[in-house]
Amino acid sequence: MDRTAPTCAAETEMDELAADVFAGACPSREILDNVAGRWGTLALVALTEGAYRFNALRRRVQGVSEKMLSQTLQALERDGLVHRDVQATIPPRVEYSLTPLGERVGAKLRALVDLVEEELPAVRAAQERYDREKRQVAVSATAART
């Protein structure tokens, strides 16, 4: 068995999976950064809706700079999650879409994003509660220091 590309799994024996992300120097970390980073997430979720051309995608994901979008897409293409279709016309036309694997990852991400959006009110409530309590603590600490 020639494992030229050793995953860093097979070292622990966890429940099922998700074992090696915790290992410091694991390749899955790097991929996760690409996928779960701010722009990676948004790009993949956007592409879940269908193919996009560069500038269309840029408009869809508001706030991303040309540079970061380009960079993100390159990383995702390298990871085999995004397909880049170049039509050698003038003007050039490039379409980005998800590969089958990209679809699966995108689906997971979309589930996450949907959940976060759904629970946004709850989260904001929690934040306000937290901030209020923090202020309380600060106040009482100041009072006690007299």
Chain positions contacting a copy of itself, by CB under 8 A: 5, 7, 9, 16-25, 27-29, 31-33, 35-38, 41-42, 45-46, 60-63, 77-81, 101, 104-105, 108-131
Which of a copy of itself, DNA, none has residue 126 at its interface (CB below 5 to 8 Å by kind)? a copy of itself
Answer whether the bond into residue 91 is a cis peptide, omega within 30°: yes
Q: Which of 6, 50, 63, 121 binds DNA (CB under 7 A)?
A: 63
22-31: long-range contacts (C-beta < 8 A, 24 or more apart)?
31/79
9 binds DNA per the rule CB under 7 A: no
Shortest distance, position 94 Cβ to DNA, whole Å: 3
Q: Which two tokens stand for residue 45?
A: 């979720």
Shortest distance, position 91 Cβ to a copy of itself, whole Å: 21
**Which CB, 17 or 86, lies closer to DNA?**
86
- Strand-pairing partners, residue 82, are 98
**Which CB, 87 or 146, lies closer to a copy of itself?**
87
- Name the site residues for DNA (rule: CB under 7 A): 37-39, 53-56, 63-68, 70, 74, 84, 86, 91-94, 96
